[in-house]
Structure 1
């Protein structure tokens, strides 16, 4: 039996943030991870391997295009082992930084094993019984699949095993057109697979601004087959191939491929914790918490994918920072999700922060303005031959920024300045007055912000008077 001032359950992004922060402040900390490595799903089966696959597939696509121009041949399917090695190497390099040794050096006791509460203050990990003054639940999430007839009788992929495939499928059906499904679908298509994406919802990427969704869809459909409003009724394996029977617009449609990838969402990984013994409330499958991440037991906190906030690694990390202070010092810190950005790492990338145009109009009516610039108007994108995309900044009429959206090459990098402005409370005029290096992609933000001053300076009554004065004094 060992006593700790803080016990962190889950060694992913959120849990590691809390454990490192608390230990560096001098607390006696235990960190528990069910799997054999720290780092969580983001490192092993999520963000990192998917981004490595995206980068590799983009390179392969460029090589195939160059080969066609030169009258040569290059098939990404023949080089999939190299692609997989690139994915594995990325995970291995980052794993070195997130190893148990790093935490043991700062005084954290790391336990590898499944944790379960025995009481509100007791936790069992294997044969060890740990006693804690405070607890943080950060066990992440797992893939979920809907109850589809026949699905249990076929082998299918999820993000948890797709990166272990040794060969590239000749064809693949992806069920689910969320960020995970789209990123993987485009990657496989670029490497040479025939890809079909099926989405049950009638809207494509409904959380994104409508103009963003429309442009991205048109770009993706150049490389893969995408259908929305598809109600999958049955899945079967016939002669070694996957057969999906669905209903589309009231008609029965069949799809066939070598492999099936289920990308239909995620759910908290909390069943094994026995939260009932800790008297921690669960609501709709999530740990029920206050805005400061306290559960029904005030000494037990929950963050990350176990709670119903934004399901992003960077959101979990921010929640972890808040919880360190809340758990150790009794503070009431919380994260402002209204300014939390996210990126869909397709090509082109999609960036999102704040309200969409539809949300802004619903909240503020006519008291909004839209400032939009095309990437084809920005010299750097023209030079890079990456003109597809745009920037859209949504404001109140007084200039307060409500949201920022973009589609374009590396949009997640050059749009970050909009997040900074929103967090500072700066108005759009300040984005225009900043000095941007030429030629840089960030000038896309300046192009959009310049429209604010153009409207006020060149379309105002004062400007009209100035024009008349100069005409009179010529």
Structure 2
């Protein structure tokens, strides 16, 4: 039995764990990191990057299919599924390689491979080969896809999760996607555009993370015009039918049965906490299996244990996980001098087409807060630059605080949402007023002019400041 002593032990070495390691090293070199599987972050290996590679291929195919709109004819689209997946895997492995290079630059004696569990508040057992005594611990074990009970046994290799999609040697002929969240939506649309027969099953009529009912309804209308969506749907039974998977489901009171080559389960994720034996560390969990912790410090209760990244189920996004790791690692390193770290303005993007985004406070959060706020909006159907590009679909709704005019947040489905989301989250972070945003430059013709239209409407509803006169009279209401 090998024994190690550490000031800080970090369990899990993805984005949050790596951030925790860097931050803790500012305080001590007596650090041990424990990894139960291959190195490489969820983002690089299983999530953000390989999914965007697949989406990029789908966007290329879609652009060719849409070219006749502009008088450009390139012939029928032909998708080579094996070539698509080869590029996805090759580029994914390149991104993972950058992570591995960073990890391999760190001292080998600080890295331990195996599955960790608490055996006392300060002692960790890694498999049965290493016992680590740590003064402080950071839990950054990530999360795993949730699979409904019995589905794996019933479907065998006909069932996959997002962790397995990117190892396909080629594209399937047909696919059922169960789950209308971010992962399900992105993969369903991309694979459909690459020629796979896709059906998306969603429990509700709401798709993705949007909370504003008007924007959410617009998203469902736009995406259901392209994708085959069963919603709200209840999957009653799954079974194996030869080399296919069979789903029996209910929609609008009627039962249907349909067969697919594979079933992709994208119905949420669960934190990887069960194997840690938190009770041995004296840490209680709630009915969702999560410990209570401070989002601004990462500290679990008043203990010496900190939590960071997807495992906390607070903000399952890479930039948030990186911030979580930095906060938890810094406080674990300086413990007991635990300090509050203010969070950045919220920002989330969904890479469907059109894209979705949430920046700052969501509509749901503002309603729950009881805060008085006004709303402005713009529809992109007639927005000038969007029509030029043939991307004139979507809705942006922006929110401002009554009496102060401070900009609070926005929700959107529409063109360039990933870029507009950044601009608006920055405005929230710097506490700009709607008038200050309107006083900023807007070039012509750009999609961002639609933002200006929405802000003008919002400013009128807030009854704050002068309302500028539009200079372009012929470019549409979103110019």
The TM-score normalised by the length of structure 1 is: 0.87
Match of 2:454 in 1: 448
Q: Distance in 2 between matches of 1:434 and 1:103?
A: 46
Deviates more, 1:436-445 or 1:394-403: 436-445
2:389 is equivalent to residue 387 of structure 1: no
> Offset of 1:13 from its aligned partner?
0.9
Match of 1:333 in 2: 340
Deviations 1:21-66 (A, max 9, x none): 2224543222221112232x22211111111111111112223444
Shift in CA distance, 243/360, structure 1 to aligned 2, threshold 3 Å: same
> 1 or 2 for the larger relative contact order (CA 8 Å, sep ≥6)?
2
Deviates more, 1:403-412 or 1:257-266: 403-412
Match of 1:42 in 2: 43
2:319 is equivalent to residue 314 of structure 1: yes
Aligned-residue CA RMSD (Å): 2.8
Q: Distance in 2 between matches of 1:175 and 1:376?
A: 30
2:422 is equivalent to residue 416 of structure 1: yes
> Offset of 1:459 from its aligned partner?
7.7
Deviates more, 1:404-413 or 1:191-200: 404-413
Match of 1:81 in 2: 82
Local SS of the residue matching 1:234: strand
> Which ranges of structure 1 fall in alignment gaps of 5 or more residues?
464-474
2:232 is equivalent to residue 225 of structure 1: no
> Offset of 1:118 from its aligned partner?
2.5
Deviations 1:57-100 (A, max 9, x none): 11122234449963733222xx1122112222332222232115
Q: Is 1:180–1:263's contact at 8 Å kept on the other side of the alignment? A: yes
Match of 1:236 in 2: 239
2:354 is equivalent to residue 348 of structure 1: yes
Shift in CA distance, 129/294, structure 1 to aligned 2, threshold 3 Å: same
2:126 is equivalent to residue 121 of structure 1: no
> Which ranges of structure 2 fall in alignment gaps of 5 or more residues?
470-479
Match of 1:287 in 2: 291
Match of 1:10 in 2: 12
Shift in CA distance, 376/199, structure 1 to aligned 2, threshold 3 Å: closer
> Offset of 1:379 from its aligned partner?
4.0
Shift in CA distance, 242/48, structure 1 to aligned 2, threshold 3 Å: same
> Offset of 1:140 from its aligned partner?
0.3
Output aligned runs, 1:12-411, within 5 Å.
12-39=14-41, 41-66=42-67, 70=73, 72-76=75-79, 79-99=80-100, 101-102=102-103, 104-105=105-106, 109-126=110-127, 127-147=129-149, 152-154=154-156, 155-205=158-208, 207-283=210-286, 284-291=288-295, 292-296=297-301, 298-329=303-334, 330-336=337-343, 339-357=345-363, 359-361=365-367, 363-364=369-370, 367-376=372-381, 378-398=383-403, 399-411=405-417
> Offset of 1:417 from its aligned partner?
1.8
Q: Distance in 2 between matches of 1:308 and 1:52?
A: 26
> Offset of 1:239 from its aligned partner?
3.4
> Offset of 1:152 from its aligned partner?
3.1
Q: Is 1:23–1:106's contact at 8 Å kept on the other side of the alignment? A: no
Shift in CA distance, 43/300, structure 1 to aligned 2, threshold 3 Å: same
> Offset of 1:363 from its aligned partner?
4.3
Shift in CA distance, 452/280, structure 1 to aligned 2, threshold 3 Å: closer
Q: Distance in 1 between matches of 2:66 and 2:347?
A: 33
Match of 1:467 in 2: none
Shift in CA distance, 35/457, structure 1 to aligned 2, threshold 3 Å: closer
Q: Distance in 1 between matches of 2:220 and 2:380?
A: 17
The TM-score normalised by the length of structure 2 is: 0.87
Q: Distance in 2 between matches of 1:238 and 1:285?
A: 36
Deviations 1:375-422 (A, max 9, x none): 355543333222222322111223122321222233112221211121
Shift in CA distance, 419/458, structure 1 to aligned 2, threshold 3 Å: closer
Q: Distance in 2 between matches of 1:433 and 1:108?
A: 56
Deviates more, 1:340-349 or 1:232-241: 232-241
Q: Distance in 1 between matches of 2:108 and 2:406?
A: 46
